[in-house]
Structures are given as structure tokens and as C-alpha cells.
Amino acid sequence: MDIRYSAHPKDVQRYTTEELRNEFLITDLYVADTVKATYSHVDRMVVLGIMPVNEKVSIDKGIDIWANFGTNFFLERREAGVFNIGEGKGYIEVDGERFELGYEDCLYITKGVKEVYFGSLDPKAPAKFFVASTPAHKACKTTFLSYDKANHRPMGAAETSNKRTINQFIHPDVLETCQLSMGITALDPGSVWNSMPCHTHERRMEVYTYFEVPENDVVMHFMGQPEQTRNIVMKNYDAVISPSWSIHCGCGTSNYAFIWAMGGENQAFDDMDNLKPVDLK
């Protein structure tokens, strides 16, 4: 498991490009029949990339659960959200109950689940499961959410190059969770800006993972304090950690989509500090 420690914003001001990427960027998430895990000390968020091809893969494959979490199984004190963003359909077995996930389908898995396995229906078109997990102090209900069941909220405009749809899946308006929130934002063709005008939220951290980025295109992900912005060049399926003190927005060389995953002290979506673009430096 890759461990990422918390970074002070004043230290980040002095980071080189390589240091910035090493601290916040998560790459190479999808390797056949492997669990690629990153543990962030920012609100104890764990990010997993799982691509089952020839076998059914356990959520804890290759992870020393006791050493990393001090628990007997991965979700003993955690909840998790999963999206399938792979070419083909997949399935997830949760304590023996099976859920099939098509493209952009979602599964919320509650605290206390002991066994979670991931599989693909066709090894020639494997599923790619993006998983985000946060600590949880209460059990809720494991829930499957198809794309059609999400809240779809149009935002932005073509004139400002940020016409997009925010699709809320694991969200207080959709289902109850302990603290985890997740969804997908998809930009319309011709639009390239996400989360602009941008914001920070001191009581929540966030992880973005970009997908549907064409092979020869990138997304310039902006982070840092509003008066000390930095950028990280992101490719398809890359993820990035955004601490609570950091902005989190991006501009692509094409339109794209991304999954946002949040954890922290609350789930109040209006609990943020909005920023005008002209105030950024």
C-alpha cells in the first residue's frame, strides 16, 4: 500500500513538479488481477484501483490489513464507494450478495462488511473499479445505484467553456452514508473547465479521478492555496488528492469526465468558500 502523508500548504509552495506529483498524484491504478491501494492521511481516505481479468479479486488482496488499519478486515471500521469505469461489465460480491455494474454504475458498501470480491464478466473487456473508502462510525445500507438513479444536475454554460452535468450518486439527497460522498461530473463537448469558479472546503478533503480523457489529451489539474496555485498534468485514469486547504479544478485539452470522492467532518455541500477566478494567483 502506498502511504501519502499530510502536507502543509506552506511546504507545498516550495515543491518541485516531481515533489508535487509524488505527494498528490496517483497513477497506474489498473493492473490485471491486482489491487492498487493508496492510503492518504488527509481524512484517512483510501483509494483503490481494481481490474479483475482472469480471477475474482478480494478487496484486500496484497494488503496487510492489521498493519495498515489495525482491524481484522478492510471494512471493519470503514465504508466504501465503487464505480465501474472500464470497458466491460463487472460484478461485486458483498458478503455473498452479488451486484452487477455496467459502465458508470455505482455501489455503496457499508461498514462491517467482511468479504468483498470483484470480477469481470468478460476478461477481454474487463471492468475497472475505482474505489474510495473513508472511516465510518455507523453502519448504513449497502446500495446499488445505476446511472439512471443518480441526481443529474446541469451546471455551467458553453459560453464559459464549463457546461457540464454533476451526477450525484453517494450523496445525502440520494442515500444515507456515514461521511462518504461520491459522484461523476461529465463535461459537454466543447467545454473543458471543471469546478470553475472554484472553491475550498476546510472541513472536507476530495479526490478526483479523471477518465474519458482521449489518448493524446491531458487535463491540467489546479491545486494549492488560492493565492499560491500549482498545477499537475493528468492523464486518463489518473487520480489526485486535494487537501481541505486546496482548490481543485481543471482544464482539459478536450472534454472529459471525473469521479469526485469526499470525506471529512460533514456532508454539507454549501459549506465551502467560493472564489472568483480573478482572485486566484
- Of 155, 149, 187, nearest to 170 by C-alpha is 149
pLDDT digits (tens, 9 = 90+) for 40-72: 999 999 999 999 999 999 999 999 999 999 999
Of residues 266 and 162, the one with the higher pLDDT is 162
93 phi/psi in degrees, rounded to 5: -100, 120
How much is the pLDDT for 279? 86
Exposed, middle or buried by CB within 10 Å (0-12, 13-18, 19+), for 58?
middle
* pLDDT for 176: 93
Supply the pLDDT for residue 276. Answer: 86
Cell of 149: 438513479
What are the residues facing 134 on neighbouring strands? 79
Q: Give pLDDT, residue 266.
A: 65
pLDDT 10s digits, 82-130: 999 999 999 999 999 999 999 999 999 999 999 999 999 999 999 999 9
What the block records as the C-alpha cell of 147 is 446511472
Which pTM value belongs to this model? 0.95
Q: Each residue of 251-275: pLDDT tens digit?
A: 999 999 999 999 977 666 677 778 8
Contact criterion met (CB below 8 Å) for 259 and 248? no
- Give the tens place of pLDDT for each residue, 171-184: 988 999 999 999 99
Bigger pLDDT: 276 or 138?
A: 138
Each residue's pLDDT tens digit, 192-248: 999 888 888 877 899 999 999 999 999 999 999 999 999 999 999 999 999 999 999
